[in-house]
């Protein structure tokens, strides 16, 4: 009977199944077990917990999640990965279920920690969907997601700099977002052009009287013309400039100087 400890090295799995990295699928694989174990520790103890992994590929991160004791449901688009993932499922004693498909069309199972090392465009699209949903708190317990470092910095950015924007407000107005670890480009096979970082997000309490849709409309307008004064950038959002004035926020300020809580307060008045 096979076991996780008896699995062949990932390099061998990749060679045996002909998993040459596909650029179109954004494939940059992680093979270093210690690094993968560190990523699997980011969500906290996983023994007996349910994890939804997006894009398991050859299964490096999946192995780490299974070593941590998780039950894993994974969705993968690349059919070539299904055979090695089936072997991994067997070695895990059935703790891994694999769904073949596009993560953009699959709902995460309720109560899961979501963990993913995804291509940039898919990762951001999923993040926006998972953070923008109603009702709140969401069905997922936490997000542990690898991004290009520049995107990770935008997610956790505080007011006052260029990194602060829509993504920061979306990730922070009713969630806690932190940069958990940086990952050097050389850790990936093949190495991408830029550095990466893992972001960890846990849901918090939604402020009363504000909907995600209103806040999104406000931040889209404010940061859509981020070099302009709010008086100009918010001119097309009915009631927004009056709300700023009523709250004593100078409409001559620019979007990047407003705290997340300021955006929430303005959205409440719209």
Binding site for ligand SAM (CB under 6 A): 25-30, 54-57, 60-61, 75-78, 81, 102-104, 117-119, 122
Query: Strand 188-189 vs strand 29-30: parallel, antiparallel, or unpaired?
Result: antiparallel
Residue 29 CB, nearest approach to ligand SAM (Å): 4
Residue 158 CB, nearest approach to ligand SAM (Å): 28
Q: Which of 142, 170, 161 is nearest to 264 (CA)?
A: 170
Residue 28 CB, nearest approach to ligand SAM (Å): 5
Q: What are the start-end ranges of the H helices in 73-200?
A: 82-91, 120-132, 149-156, 166-172
DSSP structural state of residue 56: -
Q: Which is nearer to ligand SAM, 62 or 233 (CB)?
A: 62
CA distances, 4 to each of 64, 65, 72, 79, 92 (Å): 10, 11, 14, 22, 6
Residue 223: alpha-carbon gap to chain centroid: 21
Q: Which is nearer to ligand SAM, 57 or 203 (CB)?
A: 57
Query: Strand 71-76 vs strand 96-100: parallel, antiparallel, or unpaired?
Result: parallel
Residue least distant from ligand SAM (Cβ) = 55
Residue 54 CB, nearest approach to ligand SAM (Å): 6
Q: Which is nearer to ligand SAM, 56 or 203 (CB)?
A: 56
Q: Which is nearer to ligand SAM, 80 or 226 (CB)?
A: 80
Q: Which is nearer to ligand SAM, 142 or 168 (CB)?
A: 142
């Amino acid at each position: 009977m096979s076991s996780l400890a008896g699995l062949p090295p990932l390099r061998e799995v990749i060679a045996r199944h002909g998993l040459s990295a596909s650029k179109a699928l954004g494939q940059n694989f992680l093979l270093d077990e210690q690094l993968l174990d560190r990523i699997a520790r980011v969500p906290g103890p996983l023994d007996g917990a349910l994890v939804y992994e997006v894009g398991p590929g050859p299964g490096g991160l999946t192995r780490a999640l299974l070593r941590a004791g998780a039950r894993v449901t994974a969705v993968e688009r690349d059919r070539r990965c299904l055979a090695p993932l089936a072997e991994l499922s067997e070695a895990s004693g059935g703790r891994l279920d694999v769904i073949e498909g596009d993560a953009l069309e699959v709902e995460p199972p309720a109560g899961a920690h979501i963990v993913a090392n995804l291509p940039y465009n898919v990762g951001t699209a999923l993040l926006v969907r998972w953070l923008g949903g109603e009702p709140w708190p969401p069905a997922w317990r936490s997000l542990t997601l690898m991004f290009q470092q520049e995107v990770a910095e935008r997610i956790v950015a505080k007011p006052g700099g260029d990194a602060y924007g829509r993504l920061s407000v979306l990730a922070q107005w009713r969630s806690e977002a932190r940069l958990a670890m940086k990952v050097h480009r050389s850790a990936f096979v093949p190495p991408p052009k830029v550095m990466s970082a893992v972001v960890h997000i846990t849901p918090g309490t939604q402020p009363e009287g504000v909907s995600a849709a209103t806040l999104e409309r406000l931040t889209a307008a404010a940061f859509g013309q981020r070099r302009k004064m709010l008086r100009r950038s918010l001119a097309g959002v009915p009631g927004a400039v009056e709300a700023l004035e009523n709250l004593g926020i100078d409409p001559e300020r620019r979007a990047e100087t407003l705290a997340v809580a300021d955006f929430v307060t303005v959205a409440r008045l719209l």
